[in-house]
């Protein structure tokens, strides 16, 4: 059985790959390459998998919220991803890379009995990035 | 091929284990342990899997699925206090997980009779920000 909880955070970013020229960056990332950056209201879904415990829950809501808020949202919400996170000083903060960053961060601190099974991030309501996490 | 039908019901519940103290229940279930109950607009998405029938072109008759959902879920649960009116929630804590598992059992019992199709997934939204999947793959 799986349980999914949805969270929101607002953050800005600029997509720019250092390995590419200014012109290539403009062509590849378009408006997302704007030097001053831009922002999104991201929606993050965190899915856990397991059997319900004697309380009838796969994960206690407060424990899951504390994990995601403490380890992920506190680092990302109302931040400039390029400037405020060491991770994205060199790595392009695409939502693909952001999903991998969130996976690494959660895995590193995970202490819930249920298994972290899936992450899904929407940058806007017209796109979504989904990561199934192997056992 | 998979087909999904949605149904909605509004119900109240209390998440508390009668064997535990008020403090323990409050610690485990938070606000949901309020003994007088509170409610949600539950949204149910039921997914079935099979091959379209060569004659009808349908995996399953969605009108029949609607009728099954009405009989097994909406009529018994809509506008009810789950703990007091809908067994087994007089003895099973009606968390989203347990409600989803009960819905799976009820639907599986009806759909098992049809050989060409199987119940693939039951997704129950307790709120827009919390849902549970019970399925053959989860």
Distance CA A96, CA A130 (A): 8
Give the pLDDT score at B48. 97
Give the pLDDT score at B138. 57
- CATH of segment(s) A2-132: 3.30.479.10
CA distances to A7, A77, A102, B8, B30 from A50, rounded to whole Å, are 20, 28, 20, 26, 21
Q: How far is B109 from chain A (nearest CA, A)?
A: 19
pLDDT tens profile A36-84: 999 999 999 999 999 999 999 999 999 999 999 999 999 999 999 999 9
- Residues sharing a CB contact under 8 Å with residue B26, sequence separation 6 or more, in sequence order: B33
Q: Which residue of A has its CA nearest to B20?
A: A55
Rg (CA), chain B: 16
- In this prediction, residue B136 has a pLDDT band, given cuts at 50, 70 and 90, of confident
Q: Where are the alpha helices (DSSP H) in chain B?
A: 22-29, 62-69, 75-77, 82-85, 96-111
Domain boundaries, chain A: 2-132
Q: Where are the alpha helices (DSSP H) in B60-126?
A: 62-69, 75-77, 82-85, 96-111
User: Between vectors from CA B2 to CA B131 and to CA A4, what angle results, nearest 5°?
Assistant: 15
Token pair in block for residue A42: 């991201």
Segments forming the whole domain that contains residue B48: 2-135
Residues from chain B that touch A54, judged by Cβ atoms under 8 A, are: 17
Whether residue B88 is preceded by a cis peptide bond, meaning omega within 30 degrees of 0, is yes
Q: Is the pLDDT of residue B130 over 70?
A: yes
Give the pLDDT score at A68. 98
Q: Is A49 a catalytic residue?
A: no
Average pLDDT of chain A, as a whole number: 96
Q: How far is B133 from chain A (nearest CA, A)?
A: 5
Structurally, chain B folds into a number of domains equal to 1
Residues from chain B that touch A58, judged by Cβ atoms under 8 A, are: 97, 132
Q: Is the pLDDT of residue B29 over 70?
A: yes
Give the pLDDT score at A38. 95
Task: Give the helix/strand (H/E) hosting B133.
Answer: strand B130-135
pLDDT tens profile B1-24: 999 999 999 999 999 999 999 999
Question: Taken in order B38, A59, A44, A73, is the CA torsion positive or negative?
Answer: positive
CATH code at position B12: 3.30.479.10
Interface confidence (ipTM) of the complex: 0.90
Residues from chain B that touch A61, judged by Cβ atoms under 8 A, are: 30, 130
Strands A79-80 and A2-13: parallel
Q: Which residue of A has its CA nearest to B101?
A: A1
Asked if A92 reaches chain B (Cβ–Cβ under 8 Å), the answer is no
Rg (CA), chain A: 16
Q: Is A109 a catalytic residue?
A: no
Q: Is the pLDDT of residue B27 over 80?
A: yes
Q: Is the pLDDT of residue A94 over 60?
A: yes
Q: How far is A97 from chain B (nearest CA, A)?
A: 24
Give the pLDDT score at A135. 85
pLDDT tens profile B71-127: 999 999 999 999 999 999 999 999 999 999 999 999 999 999 998 999 999 999 999
Residues from chain B that touch A69, judged by Cβ atoms under 8 A, are: none
Give the pLDDT score at B2. 96
- In A15-103, beta strands by DSSP E: 38-49, 79-80
- Residues sharing a CB contact under 8 Å with residue A61, sequence separation 6 or more, in sequence order: A5, B30, B130
Q: Is the pLDDT of residue B137 over 80?
A: no
Q: Is A123 a catalytic residue?
A: yes
């Amino acid at each position: 059985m799986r349980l999914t909880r949805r969270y929101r955070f607002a953050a800005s970013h600029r997509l720019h790959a250092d390995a590419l020229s200014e012109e290539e960056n403009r062509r590849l990332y378009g408006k997302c390459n704007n030097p001053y950056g831009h922002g999104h209201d991201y929606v993050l879904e965190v899915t856990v998998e397991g059997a319900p415990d004697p309380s009838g829950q796969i994960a206690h809501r407060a424990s899951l919220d504390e994990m995601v808020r403490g380890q992920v949202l506190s680092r990302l919400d109302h931040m400039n991803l390029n400037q405020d996170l060491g991770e994205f000083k060199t790595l392009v903060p695409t939502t693909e890379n952001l999903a991998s960053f969130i996976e690494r961060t959660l895995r590193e601190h995970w202490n819930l009995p249920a298994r972290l099974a899936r992450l899904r991030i929407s940058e806007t309501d017209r796109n979504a990035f989904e990561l199934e996490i192997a056992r | 091929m998979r087909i999904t039908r949605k149904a909605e019901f509004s119900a109240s519940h209390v998440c508390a284990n009668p064997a535990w103290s008020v403090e323990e229940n409050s610690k485990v279930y938070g606000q949901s342990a309020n003994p007088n109950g509170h409610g949600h607009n539950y949204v149910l998405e039921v997914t079935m899997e099979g091959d379209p029938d060569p004659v009808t072109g349908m995996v399953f008759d969605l009108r029949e699925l609607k009728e099954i959902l009405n009989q097994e879920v909406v009529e018994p649960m809509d506008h009810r206090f789950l703990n007091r009116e809908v067994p087994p929630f007089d003895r099973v804590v009606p968390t989203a997980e347990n409600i989803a598992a009960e819905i799976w059992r009820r639907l599986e019992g009806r759909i098992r009779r049809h050989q060409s199709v199987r119940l693939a997934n039951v997704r129950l939204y307790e709120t827009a920000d919390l849902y549970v999947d019970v399925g053959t793959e989860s």
